[in-house]
């Protein structure tokens, strides 16, 4: 059974960079697409971006200028960096998997709350 | 960007009743690339339906999806206590966007 686990700081200062890592266990990161999604407290879901195990990326146009997603196949991990954060970036960040580019998200991590505050 | 509008915002029903949730897209969703997710408090969303009408692995047959183009529906034939949750639709045919959610609450 594939499992995903987010990790990273729970508190980030305004204007700094939010960094999260998703560790995949129970299966290989290869041959799949991996994505980041966020959910502000009490609100809906927003797709941030996706990466194929080979490294090709696809980002939400509204966040593209601030987002970098990378993959480390040797560690079965992929990562998110979001720079110049503000309070509006406070959210639960989920990592998830999809088996092809045009596919729904079939496995999700439990989510990691990141608060942007000084 | 394809905007998904879900209705109603909240659905108040009793266990055993039928729930009908709507998801309307601002433009046609190609190849019925539409999914439905269930989310309970403090949990990650769970995939229920993909391709507008295909049930994901392990999803009970009381959940069904239908629709094409711009109008999609999730139906729960008989609500079980564990079905009271928030439901999101998502399109993945043109970038990826989510609806704002429908809360199914106990009446």
Residues of A in contact with B50 (CB under 8 A): 103-104, 106
Nearest to B58 by CA among A28, A22, A107, A101: A107
User: Which pLDDT score is estimated for A89?
Assistant: 98
Interatomic CA distance for residues A77 and A98, integer angstroms = 15
Best interface-test mutation with A: which of B33, B38, B96, B99 has the largest number of A CBs within 10 A? Answer: B96
Question: What pLDDT tens digit does each residue of chain B (107 aa) get?
Answer: 999 999 999 999 999 999 999 999 999 998 789 999 999 999 999 999 999 999 999 999 999 999 999 999 999 999 999 999 999 999 999 899 999 999 999 99
Out of A83-92, A100-109, B59-68, least confident range: A100-109
User: Which pLDDT score is estimated for B30?
Assistant: 84
Contact B31 A102 (CB under 8 A): yes
Encode pLDDT of A20-70 as tens digits: 999 999 999 998 999 999 999 999 999 999 999 999 999 999 999 999 999
Residues of A in contact with B33 (CB under 8 A): 102
Residues of B in contact with A46 (CB under 8 A): 98
Bridge partners, A3 (sequence order): A25
A61 burial type by CB count under 10 A (0-12 exposed, 13-18 middle, 19+ buried): exposed
CB pairs under 8 A between A and B: 54
Q: Are B30 and B13 in contact (CB under 8 A)?
A: no
């Amino acid at each position: 059974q594939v499992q995903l686990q987010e990790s990273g700081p729970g508190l980030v200062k305004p204007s700094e960079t939010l960094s999260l890592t998703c560790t995949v266990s129970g299966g290989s990161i290869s041959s799949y697409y991996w994505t980041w999604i966020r959910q502000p407290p009490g609100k809906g879901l927003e797709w941030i971006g996706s990466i194929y195990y080979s490294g090709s990326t696809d980002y939400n146009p509204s966040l593209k200028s601030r987002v970098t997603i990378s993959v480390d196949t040797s560690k079965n991990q992929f990562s998110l960096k979001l720079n110049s954060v503000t309070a509006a970036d406070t959210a639960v960040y989920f990592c998830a998997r999809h088996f092809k580019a045009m596919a729904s998200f079939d496995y999700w991590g439990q989510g990691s709350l990141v608060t942007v505050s000084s | 960007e394809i905007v998904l509008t879900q209705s109603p915002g909240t659905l108040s029903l009793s266990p055993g009743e039928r729930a009908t949730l709507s998801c309307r897209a601002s433009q046609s969703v190609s190849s019925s690339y539409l999914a439905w997710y269930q989310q309970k408090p403090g949990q990650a969303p769970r995939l229920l339906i993909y391709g507008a009408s295909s049930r994901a692995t392990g999803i009970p047959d009381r959940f069904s999806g239908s629709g094409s183009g711009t109008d999609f529906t999730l139906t729960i034939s008989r609500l079980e206590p564990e079905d009271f949750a928030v439901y999101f639709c998502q399109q993945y045919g043109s970038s990826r966007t989510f609806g704002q959610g429908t809360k199914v609450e106990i009446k």
